[in-house]
Amino acid sequence: MLPEFELSCSEFKAAGLELTREQYDKLDIYAKFLVEYNEKVNLTAITEPKEILRKHFIDSIMLLKFVNIPLNSSLIDVGTGAGFPSVPIKIFRPDIRLTLLDSLNKRIDFLKQLCDKLEIEAEFIHGRAEDISKLPEYREKFDFSCARAVANMSLLSELCIPFIKINGLFAAMKGPNEDISLGANAVEILGGSIETQQEYKLFDESRKIVVVKKISQTPPKYPRNSSQIKKKAL
Which residue, 26 or 207, is less far from ligand SAM as judged by CB? 207
Under rule CB under 6 A, residue 213 binds ligand SAM: no
Q: 177: buried, middle or exposed (CB in 10 Å: 19+, 13-18, 0-12)?
A: exposed
Under rule CB under 6 A, residue 150 binds ligand SAM: yes
Which residue, 153 or 159, is less far from ligand SAM as judged by CB? 159
Convert residues 80-99 into a mask of x (bound to ligand SAM by CB under 6 A) and - (unbound).
xxx-x---------------
Whether 57 and 27 have beta carbons less than 8 Å apart is answered as yes
User: Read out DSSP for 101-133?
Assistant: EES-HHHHHHHHHHHHHHT---EEEES-HHHHT
Convert residues 3-42 into a mask of x (bound to ligand SAM by CB under 6 A) and - (unbound).
----------------------------------------
Whether 157 and 132 have beta carbons less than 8 Å apart is answered as no
Whether 128 and 226 have beta carbons less than 8 Å apart is answered as yes
Q: Which stretch binds ligand SAM (CB under 6 A): 31-39, 64-72, 79-87, 185-193?
A: 79-87
Beta strands at 74-78 and 97-102: parallel, antiparallel or unpaired: parallel
Residues forming the site for ligand SAM (CB under 6 A):
79-82, 84, 101-104, 107, 128-130, 148-150, 159
